Copies of this chain bind each other. A is one copy, B any other.
Amino acid sequence: MKSSVMTTKKAVVLLSGGLDSTTALAMAKASGAECYALSFNYGQRCSAELAAAERIAKSMGVAAHQVVNIDMGKIGGSALTDDSIDVPEDEPEGIPITYVPARNTVFLSFALGWAEVLGAQDIYIGVSAVDYSGYPDCRPEFIAAFENMANLATKAAVEGEPIRIQTPLMQLSKAQTVQAGVALGVDYGLTVSCYQADDIGRACGKCDSCRLRIKGFEDAGQVDPTLYL
Contact = CB atoms under 8 A, between A and B. Distances in A.
A200 interface: no
Interface residues of A, number: 44
A5 interface: no
A165 B95 CA distance: 23
A146 interface: yes
Number of this chain's copies in the assembly equals: 2
A52 interface: no
Nearest to A72: B113
A63 to B, nearest CB: 15
Q: State the 3 A-B residue pairs at the shortest beta-carbon distance, nearest first.
A: A102-B113, A77-B117, A145-B149
Interface of A: 66, 68-72, 74-77, 95, 99-106, 108-110, 112-114, 116-117, 136-137, 139, 141-142, 145-146, 148-150, 152-155, 157-159
